[in-house]
């Protein structure tokens, strides 16, 4: 697997000279901050209102644990943002190598297909992890108010990495199928937005099939992690998507050699 790390390292370095990556990380951080401060202000007001009600009437329906609620909402919003950001990070993974002709270098080197796709995957994952770093000051800001909720934060971040990992693996697969970066990005949007909202069809009860399909939804599976629940089933679920995406991407990359170019 030494080759995978070599490829991952080059991938990370190439992100840092890519204007797309800088744009993605900047916008992601800005919008994350916007969501965070808006929600914090909203719920702190609610809490203040609740306190006032308790003082006046002795009870309140609004009682809530601000950090927990804010974090849960925040991580759900982040999942939505990831859905928008990831296709821009994965669209070039294989497509760009094909365009530059460097895929020929990789495929004629003593490197296995699985090492190529794992390297690409790890490179994109590392960048994703880096994107999450600017969120830490926001948590620290909230922590300064008294309550860190470290468990919820850890589980939320893990959830984002798992969700992002599944999105990246699928983006990698789509990228290996496309000759054009824009098509690759659009295709990935189609795939991961569909998976994100698979459960909406089964929301109104529905048959066993719609519920089964709904249970495959990214959104439903990601929800636990936003509330501080780390469930083995969720980890297995996202890991399975990652494994499937990487396996198919590897097959697809190998198959590129059979295409006439």
Q: Quick check: 14 binds other proteins (CB under 8 A)?
A: yes
Cβ at position 111, least distance to other proteins in Å: 6
Nearer CB in complex with other proteins: 106/152: 106
Q: Quick check: 12 binds other proteins (CB under 8 A)?
A: no
Cβ at position 90, least distance to other proteins in Å: 18
Cβ at position 103, least distance to other proteins in Å: 8
Gap between the Cα atoms of 68 and 158, Å rounded = 16
- Three-class SS state of 231: coil
**At a CB cut-off of 8 Å and minimum separation 6, what does 206 contact?**
214
Cβ at position 110, least distance to other proteins in Å: 4
Binds other proteins (CB under 8 A): choice among 17, 144, 204, 232: 17
Could you tell me the sign of the dihedral formed by the alpha carbons of 57, 58, 64, 66, in that order? positive
Nearer CB in complex with other proteins: 24/153: 24
Site for other proteins in 92-151 (CB under 8 A): 100-112
Q: Quick check: 49 binds other proteins (CB under 8 A)?
A: no
Cα 131 off chain centre by: 10
Binds other proteins (CB under 8 A): choice among 23, 200, 206, 257: 257
Q: Quick check: 181 binds other proteins (CB under 8 A)?
A: no
Gap between the Cα atoms of 221 and 131, Å rounded = 22
Cα 38 off chain centre by: 22
**# binding residues, other proteins (CB under 8 A):** 25
- Smallest CA-to-CA distance from 237 within 227, 225, 226 is with 225
Gap between the Cα atoms of 112 and 54, Å rounded = 65
Range list of H helices, 111-258: 113-132, 136-144, 150-177, 181-196, 208-214, 218-226, 232-256
Q: Quick check: 179 binds other proteins (CB under 8 A)?
A: no
Q: Quick check: 6 binds other proteins (CB under 8 A)?
A: yes
Would you call 163 exposed, middle or buried from its count of C-beta atoms within 10 A (0-12, 13-18, 19+)?
A: buried
Cβ at position 72, least distance to other proteins in Å: 40
Cβ at position 47, least distance to other proteins in Å: 49
Nearer CB in complex with other proteins: 2/59: 2
User: Which residues form the interface with other proteins (CB under 8 A)?
Assistant: 2-3, 6-7, 10, 13-14, 17-18, 100-112, 257-258, 260
């Amino acid at each position: 697997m030494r080759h995978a790390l070599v490829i991952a390292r080059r991938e990370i370095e190439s992100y840092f000279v890519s204007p797309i990556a800088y744009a993605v990380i900047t916008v992601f951080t800005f919008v994350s901050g916007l969501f965070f401060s808006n929600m914090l202000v909203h719920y702190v007001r609610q809490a203040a209102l609740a306190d006032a009600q308790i003082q006046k009437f002795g009870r309140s329906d609004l009682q809530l644990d601000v950090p927990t609620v804010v974090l849960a909402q925040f991580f759900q919003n982040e999942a939505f943002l990831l859905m928008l950001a990831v296709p821009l990070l994965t669209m070039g993974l294989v497509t760009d190598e094909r365009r530059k002709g460097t895929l020929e270098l990789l495929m004629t080197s003593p490197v296995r297909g699985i090492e190529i796709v794992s390297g690409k995957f790890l490179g994109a994952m590392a960048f994703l992890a880096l994107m999450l770093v600017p969120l830490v000051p926001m948590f620290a800001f909230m922590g300064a108010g008294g309550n860190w909720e470290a468990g919820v934060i850890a589980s939320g971040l893990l959830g984002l990495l798992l969700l992002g990992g599944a999105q990246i693996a699928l983006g990698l697969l789509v990228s290996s199928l496309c000759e054009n970066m824009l098509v690759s990005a659009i295709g990935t949007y189609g795939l991961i937005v569909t998976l994100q909202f698979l459960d909406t069809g089964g929301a109104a009860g529905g048959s066993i099939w719609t519920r089964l399909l709904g249970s495959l939804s990214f959104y439903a599976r990601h929800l636990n992690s936003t509330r501080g629940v780390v469930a083995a089933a969720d980890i297995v679920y996202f890991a399975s998507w990652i494994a499937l995406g990487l396996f198919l991407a590897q097959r697809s990359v190998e198959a590129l050699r059979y295409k006439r170019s």
